[in-house]
């Protein structure tokens, strides 16, 4: 099933938890989804972080404190 970027943001804003593959979306979209998650108090798990910097992870976490989980194993 394929969703638009706007639909993904709306799901997060409505409180729907998501698992996101960082290798398939832009950093900008991850930021937008995380900000929407803060509104809906939705849990976000981000996987495949190999291309992301620690500064980017901190920025994402700051947008939705306590709601973002980074999967450092995958």
pLDDT digits (tens, 9 = 90+) for 2-35: 899 999 999 999 999 999 999 999 999 999 999 9
pTM over 0.85: yes
Q: Considering only CA atoms, which of 46, 39, 31 is closest in space to residue 13?
A: 39
Angstrom distance (rounded) from CA 58 to CA 65: 10
- Determine the structural domain holding residue 61 and report its residue range: 5-70
User: How many domains are contained in the chain?
Assistant: 1
Q: Which comes out higher in pLDDT, residue 2 or 41?
A: 41
Angstrom distance (rounded) from CA 66 to CA 59: 13
Phi, psi at residue 47, to the nearest 5°? -110, 170
Query: For position 66, what pLDDT does the model report?
Result: 96
């Amino acid at each position: 099933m394929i969703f638009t970027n706007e639909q993904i943001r709306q799901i997060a804003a409505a409180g729907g938890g998501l698992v996101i593959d960082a290798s398939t979306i832009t950093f900008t979209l991850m930021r937008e989804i995380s900000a929407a998650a803060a509104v809906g108090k939705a849990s976000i798990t981000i996987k495949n972080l190999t291309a992301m910097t620690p500064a980017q992870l901190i920025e994402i976490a700051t947008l939705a404190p306590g709601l973002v989980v980074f999967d450092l194993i995958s």
